[in-house]
Structures are given as C-alpha cells and as structure tokens.
Amino acid sequence: MGAPILGRVIDLHTHSSASDGTDEPRQVLEAAAAADLTVVALTDHDTTAGWDAAADAVERYGVALVRGTEVSTRVPMPDGSHISVHLLSYLHDPTNPALADELERTRTSRRTRARAMTDLLARDYPITWEAVVAHTGDGATVGRPHLADTLVALGVVATRDEAFATMLHASAPYYVPHYAPDAALAIRAVRAAGGVPVMAHPGAGARGRVVTDETIAELADVGLAGLEVDHRDHDADTRAHLRDLAAALGLLVTGSSDYHGAGKTNRLGENATSPDVLEAIEGEGALPVIRP
C-alpha cells in the first residue's frame, strides 16, 4: 500500500501557494524535511511558477526536488459532456511553447471562471472579487479552494471541506467549468516537452465521474507513463484494481499525498513512490531531479 519506509520516503504530488496550497514553495521543502521525506515533487495546478523558489530551498532543507505540474485536462464523452482528469507532468521543459501556451490558456480561463462563480455566489453571500483576489497568492493559479478560503474568512462556512460539500460542489448552482485541454492532447504536449505524464487519482470517484479502463488504455497508447495508485481518495479495492491495470498496460505505479498545506488534511508522505519508479521517471524526463 505504498507504506513509507521511515526516512526514505518519496512523495510525488504536492501543492504550494503557487496554486491552491497554503505553504510557500520553500515551506513545502521545509515541511518535507520535517516529515522525513528524501524526495518531494512540487506539482502546482497548471503552473511552474513555484519551481525556482522550491529549487532554491533544496540545499537548505536537504530534500531532493522533482519539478512537476498537475495539468487540468478533460476526456470528452459521447453525449457531449466531459470527465475531468488531472495529469501529473514530471520533469518537462517549462519553456516548451505548446505546453506553456496550454497551461496559460487554462490559467486564464480559471480566472474568468473564478470571477463568474464569485458573481453567482455574490447573489446570495457577501463575497466580492476583491476579497477572492486578496485570498489568492500573487500570480497563483486560482481555484475553488481560494473561493472556499474567502467564504471561510467571511464566516459563511467553517472549512474548505464544508464549502466543497455545499456551494462549491460541481452540482451546485454556483459551479462554472473552465477550459482544459483534452487528455490525449495534453499527454502528447507533455511528452513533446520532455515530461513524464502520470494520471493523478484516476479512481477518485467522490470528485465526480472517473474514466474507464478502456480510456486509460487508449491514453497509454498515446504516451501516458503511469497511474497514481496510492492516494487517499482510493479505497483498497480501487488500488488493487488500478495496480492490476497498470501491470497489464505496462504503466508505472506511483503513490503520493496531494499535500495542500493547511488547506487539506493530507499529510506529506502518507502515500509514497518506490525508488525504482522515480528512477524510471527521471530516465524518461527532460530535466534532472535536483538533489542536495
């Protein structure tokens, strides 16, 4: 079950204030050291904005850094709807124009969408766009967690969790979607940029519909490298199924915390990735792991 060996833990999925985590990138490295991690990946949503600050902290905290991005994507369905898929890209060239353009397009759409959700919420709650901006880090990728933090500060809800369970839920009347590239296009773009694409929490059914095994097989043909199997949003049966599927398709298996600082209860290192899988990822990536 990805049980971490004390002091040798590799955690390949975390968020900082460059997106919707509450720690600065430097503090993610500091927290990783305190949690006895040897390697941590910083994978903020649709951005590489936290990479340099995280890299600058590697020496100080003695934790190796995998530079990554959690790319928002979607899989189109026959009925015209879409299933949201998060793709972890590791060790890609951040200056690759095609990938950088896709990420910028998503970030811009996320901003328009956050504003639209704020306008809808403002009909019923005392929320303003200025307050949301004040709760979003400078240049950060904006997301529903920033709306949640604003609602908490206003006393409308007690926690991010409560906001997600109610007014920020995908089925709530305040929900607005944002642009995201098709998953197959994103996988090709990540590979073309020298990145290693791993599907994040493929079986996290509580967030909404999840993709089928057939879709995962199709995406493996396009260049998907792995599945994030050990994640707190997967129960034991889901993990066993995804592990078998990864073996059948020749995909790597990762495990990680999806740490968001104080924004979620996920603890660094609560799920982990084996050293041989990290070695395979580094072997396929355009950038090195930055080691202390």
The position carrying tokens 């043909």 is: 221
Give yes or no for residue 20 binding Zn ion (CB under 5 A). Answer: yes
Tell me phi and psi for residue 252, to 5 degrees.
-70, 155
Q: What's the closest the beta carbon of residue 27 comes to Zn ion, in angstroms?
A: 16
What x-and-dash track marks residues 18-57 binding ligand AMP by CB under 6 A?
Answer: --x-------------------------------------
- Which is nearest to 115 in space by CA: 136, 84, 86, 137? 136
In angstroms, the CA 87 to CA 201 distance is: 9
Give yes or no for residue 74 binding ligand AMP (CB under 6 A). Answer: no
Q: Which of 59, 124, 161, 221 binds ligand AMP (CB under 6 A)?
A: 161
Q: What's the closest the beta carbon of residue 205 comes to ligand AMP, in angstroms?
A: 13
Site for Fe ion in 63-82 (CB under 5 A): 70
Sheet of 82-90, strand order: 9-11, 37-45, 64-76, 82-90, 196-199, 226-230, 252-255
Give yes or no for residue 23 binding Zn ion (CB under 5 A). Answer: no
Helices 213-222/236-249 angle, 10° precision? 40
Give yes or no for residue 44 binding Zn ion (CB under 5 A). Answer: no
The tokens for 145 are 């967690």
Answer with the entry of Fe ion, Zn ion, ligand AMP, none that 161 interacts with (C-beta below 5 to 8 A by kind): ligand AMP
CA 246 vs CA 83, 192, 216, 239, 253: distances in Å: 20, 23, 9, 10, 7
What DSSP line would sit under 166-192, residue for residue? TTTSTTSTT-------BHHHHHHHHHH
Of 27 and 136, which CB lies nearer to ligand AMP in the complex structure?
Answer: 136
CA 123 vs CA 118, 137, 143, 157, 173: distances in Å: 9, 25, 20, 16, 11
Q: What's the closest the beta carbon of residue 174 comes to Fe ion, in angstroms?
A: 20
Q: How big is the chain by its Cα radius of gyration, in Å?
A: 18
Q: What's the closest the beta carbon of residue 159 comes to ligand AMP, in angstroms?
A: 8
Segment interacting with Zn ion (CB under 5 A) among 16-24, 115-123, 160-168, 204-212? 16-24
Read off the DSSP letter of residue 204. -
Size of the site for Zn ion (CB under 5 A): 2
Give yes or no for residue 86 binding Fe ion (CB under 5 A). Answer: yes
Segment interacting with Fe ion (CB under 5 A) among 19-27, 95-103, 177-185, 255-263? 255-263
Q: Which of 25, 50, 137, 143 binds ligand AMP (CB under 6 A)?
A: 143
Give yes or no for residue 258 binding Fe ion (CB under 5 A). Answer: yes
Q: Which of 2, 68, 137, 145 binds ligand AMP (CB under 6 A)?
A: 145
Size of the site for ligand AMP (CB under 6 A): 10
Give yes or no for residue 269 binding ligand AMP (CB under 6 A). Answer: no
CA 270 vs CA 211, 214, 233, 236, 259: distances in Å: 25, 29, 12, 15, 9
Given the rule CB under 5 A, which residues bind Zn ion?
15, 20
Given the rule CB under 6 A, which residues bind ligand AMP?
20, 143-145, 160-161, 164, 260, 263-264
